[in-house]
Chains A and B, each alone.
Chain A
Amino acid sequence: MALSRPKERIHPSALKVWRIHGIIFFVIELGVALGYCFLAREISALPKFLFYILLALSGFMGVLHIIVVPQIRMIYWGYELREEEVDIQFGIIVIKRSLIPMTRIQHVDTHHGPFMRLFGLATLSISTAGTKHQIPALKQETAESLRRRISQLALESEDDV
């Protein structure tokens, strides 16, 4: 019997945030390519064709990071909060599925970067004694209520290390 996918999905706006990250990445790469162009004009020893390679590369990576990767990520991202455990699935090429029992959770917190905040999103991090897990791009209220619920459940489930 195959495992069923975790029920909950992260917020659809995550796509937008990831795409913005992708755009920033793309702009930086473009900058590197253009920077090289200027350098090559000054220093004749540098080959010109490398500029086109860099340009093509940044274009390719741009498409990958702005369009393809966020979409694939969105398809696989899933999580499920149960009374006894948190179940998380994510990945792009390698799909990872983690099960974290409530009894093992040491602390939970939420945080958000500028773009996440723009869309009212937050990331939830869950730490055990040895491992750290994140659920990105939850609605801020959801993240906050999950955080409270997990700390509550983690407190209630008492068994020692």
Chain B
Amino acid sequence: MFEERRQHPVTVLVYFAKQIKHMAIPFLVFLISVAADGGSLPPWYAIVSVLGAMVLLNVLIACWRWFFFRYAFKDGALHIKKGAVLRKQRHIKNERVQTVNAKAGILLRLLELLSLSIETAGGTEEPEVTIHALTHEEAEGLEEALRGETRAVKDEEDKMENKGKTIDFPRLLIAALTSGGVGAFLLLIFAVFAQVVFFIPDHIMEDVSATVIGAGVLAFVGLGVMLLLTSWGLSVVRYIFRYAFFRVKRANGEIRIEHGLLVKRRFNVKTHRIQALSVVEGMLRQPFGFATIELEVAGGGKYEDSFKVVLYPLLAKNDIQTFLEDTLSEYAATFDLRPLPRRAFRRYMIRLHLLYLPFLPLFVFFPLTMLAFLLVPFTTLLAYLRYRDAGVAVEGSLLVSRFRYLAKTTALMHKDRVQTIRLQRNILQRLRKLSTLQSTVLSAPSKTTFQVKDIAEETGDSVYEWYSRHA
């Protein structure tokens, strides 16, 4: 219960930075493109005065936004008032609040502040409300109020404070090295390069390409390796910054996840919002016996880059059982996975290799592309692994679906969280008595369907019967 108040004044800076970010890039691009075209830049005083006006205007807007944003908690609801000309009021009842996430960047941490985003049901990427800066005390009060919690419960939770699982540095490093974030950074580098290349004067480009071509194939390979290593390094650094000081614990029917080196984040996930748990064994991690544990959570927004919540970044396979028993015992179960029947193998092999079919004309016209056949051993291996790893199991109220695209994924879901079960069989599958099993659960932003292809018909039917509530 507290009175109407404003965010911490530093919010002005936060608003300002956000506004400027949107304007600065088009402005810079404009300047650079004028310069690159060989056109004359406007005189310096014009640039400075335009810039000055832009900054001043944005400071004023930011101040305005901060001054007229007020929030209060009373009668079991969060009340937000925004704006002076266009007034907006919003009331969020605490039972509608799904999650309250906290985040603190460097600036906020220096001032011992944090920002809270409040998520309600509904599949939007943006949080319903973000309070950009408030003290830890205020945040705690607000979170408690939104959870409808009393002081007594809070005390009990404090006693459990020592519980919870953290990650040590060697483990974090392994996780970072095997995170597979190389691709994203490679794309980023190419994207940046594609933007920048327009601004590089032609004669420099020609010089560079002449040097590279002159140096021969080795230079190309070297350049490629360098690019790859750089991307890898960047992805490792990002991963470490993101997941350092990872801690997960369970308290009061909630899972609390905290992590971050510079930018600290905290998620609270109510256990009854958890719809499924996946054990993901990435291709780089599986050989070392490591897996990541992820959650599908209904409602709420984006957590990092994805809508999935990382429950634990890297766990040895043998430790998963104990970890789940401590943290999320609802999903700690031993099960006998029913593997695919042998007759499914051929379908897995053919399905993956059909991907070569569209390229056949290419092979005819450009014989060099036949080099693609060097990939065949890898796709054959992948098809075999997909076949070998797939399977389903039913254990009590749990359904387990295991499948692989690249990473081997074991999804566990409870019967009363599954939205629908679907069995799908095409003509060939009917001939071979195989079915494809799809189970759909809610997740952010809307739903996730887990699919296992070509399970034995009777296995599929037994899952269907297991799901049926009909006697």
Closest to B469 in A: A84
By the criterion CB–CB under 8 Å, are A129 and B442 in contact? yes
By the criterion CB–CB under 8 Å, are B421 and A2 in contact? no
CB of A95 to closest CB in B, whole Å: 5
Most buried by B among A95, A99, A104, A131: A99
A1-34 interface code vs B (CB 8 A; 1 in, 0 out): 1110000000000000000000000000000000
Cross-chain contact of B465 among A3, A84, A93, A130 (Cβ < 8 A)? A3
Number of interface residues of A (CB under 8 A): 28
Say if the beta carbon of B446 comes within 8 Å of chain A. yes
By the criterion CB–CB under 8 Å, are A130 and B446 in contact? yes
By the criterion CB–CB under 8 Å, are B470 and A131 in contact? no
Interface size class of B (residues with CB under 8 A): 20 to 34
Which of B135-143, B244-252, B301-309, B422-430 lines the interface with chain A?
B422-430
Say if the beta carbon of A85 comes within 8 Å of chain B. yes
By the criterion CB–CB under 8 Å, are A99 and B457 in contact? no
Cα–Cα, bound, A160→B442 (Å): 13
**Which of chain A's residues 91-127 have a Cβ closer than 8 Å to chain B?**
91, 93-101, 103-104
Q: List 19 A-B contacts (CB under 8 A).
A: A1-B461, A85-B468, A91-B424, A94-B424, A94-B425, A95-B424, A95-B430, A97-B423, A97-B424, A98-B421, A99-B422, A101-B469, A128-B419, A129-B419, A129-B447, A131-B440, A133-B420, A159-B416, A161-B442
By the criterion CB–CB under 8 Å, are A130 and B421 in contact? no
By the criterion CB–CB under 8 Å, are B469 and A130 in contact? no
Closest to A95 in B: B425
Q: Which residues of B contact A98 (CB under 8 A)?
A: 420-422
- Do A131 and B419 form a contact, CB below 8 Å, given A94-B426, A96-B424? yes
Q: Which residues of B contact A97 (CB under 8 A)?
A: 422-424, 464
By the criterion CB–CB under 8 Å, are A161 and B468 in contact? no
CB of A142 to closest CB in B, whole Å: 21
**Which of chain B's residues 265-307 have a Cβ closer than 8 Å to chain A?**
272-273, 298
Say if the beta carbon of B176 comes within 8 Å of chain A. no
Q: Which residues of B contact A161 (CB under 8 A)?
A: 272-273, 298, 417, 442
Q: Which residues of A contact B399 (CB under 8 A)?
A: none
- Do A99 and B420 form a contact, CB below 8 Å, given A84-B468, A84-B470, A93-B427? yes
By the criterion CB–CB under 8 Å, are A2 and B457 in contact? yes
Q: Which residues of A contact B298 (CB under 8 A)?
A: 129, 161
Say if the beta carbon of B467 comes within 8 Å of chain A. yes
Say if the beta carbon of A82 comes within 8 Å of chain B. yes
Say if the beta carbon of B157 comes within 8 Å of chain A. no
Cα–Cα, bound, A131→B420 (Å): 8
Q: Which residues of B contact A82 (CB under 8 A)?
A: 470
What 7 pairs between A and B have smallest CB-CB spacing? A130-B447, A84-B469, A94-B426, A97-B423, A98-B422, A3-B461, A128-B419
Q: Which residues of A contact B417 (CB under 8 A)?
A: 161
B454-469 interface code vs A (CB 8 A; 1 in, 0 out): 0001100100110111
CB of A156 to closest CB in B, whole Å: 13
Cα–Cα, bound, A84→B447 (Å): 22
Q: Which residues of A contact B273 (CB under 8 A)?
A: 161
Cα–Cα, bound, A83→B469 (Å): 9
Q: Which residues of A contact B440 (CB under 8 A)?
A: 130-131
Q: Give me 5 other A-B pairs in contact (C-beta within 8 A), A130-B447, A131-B420 excluded.
A: A2-B458, A94-B425, A96-B422, A130-B420, A130-B442
Say if the beta carbon of B177 comes within 8 Å of chain A. no
Most buried by A among B273, B420, B464: B420
Closest to A96 in B: B424
Q: Which residues of B contact A99 (CB under 8 A)?
A: 420-422, 464, 467-468
Closest to B273 in A: A161
Cα–Cα, bound, A91→B423 (Å): 11
Say if the beta carbon of B441 comes within 8 Å of chain A. yes
Cα–Cα, bound, A106→B461 (Å): 26
Q: Which residues of A contact B272 (CB under 8 A)?
A: 160-161
A134-161 interface code vs B (CB 8 A; 1 in, 0 out): 0000000000000000000000000111
Q: Which residues of B contact A1 (CB under 8 A)?
A: 458, 461
- Do A130 and B430 form a contact, CB below 8 Å, given A3-B465, A94-B425, A96-B424? no
By the criterion CB–CB under 8 Å, are A93 and B426 in contact? yes
**Which of chain B's residues 174-216 have a Cβ closer than 8 Å to chain A?**
none
By the criterion CB–CB under 8 Å, are A85 and B470 in contact? yes
**Which of chain B's residues 424-452 have a Cβ closer than 8 Å to chain A?**
424-427, 430, 440-442, 446-447
Closest to B298 in A: A161
CB of B401 to closest CB in A, whole Å: 15
Cα–Cα, bound, A91→B436 (Å): 14
By the criterion CB–CB under 8 Å, are B469 and A85 in contact? yes
By the criterion CB–CB under 8 Å, are B461 and A131 in contact? no
Q: Which residues of A contact B420 (CB under 8 A)?
A: 98-101, 104, 128, 130-131, 133
Cα–Cα, bound, A102→B426 (Å): 27
Cα–Cα, bound, A161→B271 (Å): 11
Cα–Cα, bound, A87→B440 (Å): 15
Q: Which residues of A contact B416 (CB under 8 A)?
A: 103, 159
Most buried by B among A82, A83, A100, A101: A101
Q: Which residues of B contact A130 (CB under 8 A)?
A: 419-420, 440-442, 446-447
Cα–Cα, bound, A98→B430 (Å): 17
CB of B411 to closest CB in A, whole Å: 15
CB of A51 to closest CB in B, whole Å: 26
CB of B295 to closest CB in A, whole Å: 15
**Which of chain A's residues 47-62 have a Cβ closer than 8 Å to chain B?**
none
Closest to B422 in A: A98
Cα–Cα, bound, A130→B424 (Å): 18
